[in-house]
Amino acid sequence: MQIPGLVDPKPVPRKPAPARADGKRALLGLSRADLRDALISVGIPEKQAKMRTAQVWNWIYQRGATEVAAFANISKDTRALLDQHFVVGRPEVVSAQVSTDGTRKWLLRFDDGEEAECVFIPDAWRGTLCVSSQVGCTLNCRFCFTGTMKLVRNLTPAEIVGQVMLARDALGEWPNGTANLPALPDTDDNDEDRAYIPGAHNPGSNYTPEGRMLTNIVMMGMGEPLYNFENVRDALAIVMDGDGLGLSKRRITLSTSGVVPMMARAGTEIGVNLAVSLHATTKEIRDEIVPINKKYGIEELLSACAAYPGANNARRITFEYVMLKDKNDRDEDAHELVRLIRKYRLPAKVNLIPFNPWPGSAYETSTPERVDAFSDIIFQAGISAPIRRPRGRDIMAACGQLKSASEKVSRADLDRRAAEKEALWVD
Ligand code: SAH
Ligand code: SF4
């Protein structure tokens, strides 16, 4: 039975984020209204609450303050009161790695000890932060390392915004707060989908290849963002808020494996660019590699894309397509992809992702010639189909290589785990 309407199907019960050991509450990630209520609840007088909310918000998101003690324009007594009850709430950095290509990966630990990864991908004309929405993932796309994780918990808005804050810390982007964005046309040019052009330089940008600027965000880290809808929405509201982190919705892309019932809400309540992990054009193959397809099939998914609020020729939907050798990379697959995009009249582009291997993965990457031929077919049909250059493979930071818990699992264990997860989807 299909889950109807606007309901988050939450297929697996998840652990809520527990309270901090010191009993304090994180200010990070609270909406303005919740922040105001929180301040009043600890004794800030109601008539001051609006001003205090604006001050705290400014210290955290515009100036990058990491502790309550740094809120310098708030009186000492009030600061002491706030300090008694709150922390700003940055995630702890367990490790920070830098790839030979400049990609950076952070392993972050949250208050309950759970961990997630976050990746910064500097490019000639932009810097993209790949943000996680969950610890692990309840889905188990067969080519994705994150999908092999047993444990799953939703990240809170504080933990999602915290990744962006942390990246800004590491990139030295405070105290200006809002990134000085390069003068790029705000079209659908939103994720790290362009083939790399060495030396390419955007004259309007003050970005340097060393990577000083976070200009774009992709919700493409660990987890399925539409299975954590409210938290992702609330976190992105802060990221997009002009007095918050001030990133335009056109510079943010949310990727879903195809949680059809949540797509319309994502369009209206979040409004960022949409990427869809299609990866196959037939039921047989998509059922195998993206098993959520058994619940929400290709036709249903593409209909939801056609209805996605805000998609048009200037803001196209990105179809992600992982190139798996002898699995989904034949000419016929490319032709079928074109046919489907046309059938549903989708304002679309296709992002071809060479498969990034991980320990124990059962697939191989298509040959570069095959990927080129596949891309050409789609291009010839008038649909953009750039090949995504793998980034950060040497530090396991590329698409689908993120996994925070290290454990050795056999192929048989992985298959068993996949079957267990799927069994939990039965409505
Ligand atoms: N859960 C969301 C977003 C995270 S994954 C989703 O599935 O869309 C981001 C992208 O990387 C997805 O398109 C995903 O299918 C792809 N991906 C996963 N594992 C991969 C791998 N090993 N190699 C290449 N791409 C991969
Ligand atoms: Fe989850 Fe996305 Fe990985 Fe699939 S590809 S297992 S939905 S993170």
Is the CB of residue 356 below 6 angstroms from any atom belonging to ligand 1? yes
What would the mean pLDDT of 196-224 be, rounded to a whole number? 60
Would you state the pLDDT for residue 190? 40
User: Domain span at residue 55?
Assistant: 29-87
Partner residues linked to 26 by β-bridges: 87
Q: Note whether 355 and 399 are same-domain residues.
A: yes
Ligand 1 site, residue 318, Cβ cutoff 6 A? no
pLDDT band at 86 (very low <50, low <70, confident <90, very high): very high
Q: Where are the alpha helices (DSSP H) in 246-297?
A: 263-265, 283-289
- 52-61: pLDDT as tens digits: 999 999 999 9
19 burial type by CB count under 10 A (0-12 exposed, 13-18 middle, 19+ buried): exposed
Please indicate, yes or no, whether residues 278 and 189 belong to a single structural domain of this protein.
Answer: yes
Burial group, residue 124, by CB count within 10 angstroms (0-12, 13-18, 19+)? middle
Lowest mean pLDDT among 153-162, 208-217, 348-357: 208-217
- Is 47 among the domain residues? yes
CA neighbor of 159 nearest in space, from 130, 101, 116, 129: 116
Residue 115 maps to a domain? yes
Residues 170 and 43 in one domain: no
- Would you say residue 5 lies in a domain? no
Between 111 and 2, residue with greater pLDDT: 111
The reply to whether 268 and 316 lie within a common domain is yes
Residues 393, 397, 402, 408, Cα dihedral to 10°: 50
Which helix (H) or strand (E) is 15 found in, with range?
none
Instruction: Flag whether 221 is in a domain.
Output: yes
Question: Domain check: are 54 and 99 in the same one?
Answer: no
Kindly state whether residues 147 and 50 are assigned to the same domain: no
Catalytic residue among 137, 144, 305, 399: 399
* Residue 182 preceded by cis peptide, ω within 30: no
Instruction: Indicate whether residue 355 lines ligand 1 (CB < 6 A).
Output: yes
The DSSP bridge partners found for residue 322 are 353
**Whether 117 is catalytic:** yes
Q: Indicate which CATH number applies to the domain containing 35.
A: 1.10.150.530
In a domain, 365, yes or no: yes
- Of these ranges, 167-181, 187-201, 338-352, the one predicted with the greatest mean pLDDT is 338-352
pLDDT tier for residue 425 given thresholds of 50, 70 and 90: low
Give the atom of ligand 1 at the shortest distance from the alpha carbon of 276.
8
Q: Find out whether the beta carbon of 191 lies less than 6 Å from any atom of ligand 1.
A: no
Q: 221 and 99 in one domain?
A: yes
Which listed residue (117, 173, 224, 320) is catalytic? 117
What token pair was written down for 146?
């994150």
**What pLDDT score was predicted for residue 8?**
43
For 9-60, how does the pLDDT look when each residue is reduced to its tens digit (9 = 90+)? 455 555 556 678 889 999 999 999 999 999 999 999 999 999 999 999 999 9
The pTM of the full predicted model, rounded to 2 decimals, is: 0.88
- Mutate which of 12, 119, 138, 139 for ligand 2? The one with the most ligand atoms within 8 Å of its CB, which is 139
Separation CA 146–CA 70 (nearest Å): 37
Residue 18 lies in a domain: no
CA-nearest residue, atom 6 of ligand 2: 147
* Together in a domain, 183 and 311: yes
Q: Flag whether pLDDT at 222 surpasses 90.
A: yes
Are 261 and 410 in a shared domain?
yes
> Do residues 362 and 388 share a domain?
yes
> Do 298 and 416 lie in a common domain?
yes
